[in-house]
Amino acid sequence: MVHFLAQYLSGCFLCILISGCVKEPTQMDVLVRVVHNSKGLEQAVIYVEDEATSNPSIDLSNYTRKYGTDAFGEANLALPFGDYYLVATGYSPSLKKYVTGSVTLRFNKTNQFTPQKITITTH
């Protein structure tokens, strides 16, 4: 009887351990592309403010996160589910000045399996 109880309890513990390892996703992987005149802006900077659905009207240096783009104007971001306001700024060789664009994002469990590709158009 003791042997049976030990096997039963170890089997229950194994089931709990395995079920505890299966976790729901808590973040989204997002490909952000910063463009100006339909061309990617290399070395642009993407500023991300968490829990914001509109321009938070704060200095860019105070934003929660900051990412740089590659030679194609792209950056891969891993963001927890939530609301975000993104601002991108970069140098436009054609205009010979810095340009800026922005977008709001909302990620939740309903769109967790949809590949996220966001374009920020600068002006």
Residue-wise pLDDT for 65-93, tens only, equals 999 999 999 999 988 888 999 999 999 99
Gyration radius of the chain over CA positions = 22
The pLDDT assigned to 21 comes to 57
Please report the pLDDT score of residue 3 as a whole number: 52
How far is residue 105's CA from residue 43's CA, in Å, rounded to a whole number? 22
The correct CATH number of 25-121 out of 3.40.190.10, 2.60.40.10, 3.50.50.100, 2.60.40.1120 is: 2.60.40.1120
Each residue of 44-62: pLDDT tens digit?
A: 999 999 999 899 999 999 9
**Cβ 62 vs Cβ 55: under 8 Å:** no
18: enclosing H helix or E strand? helix 2-21
Calpha distance 30→77 (Å, rounded)? 5
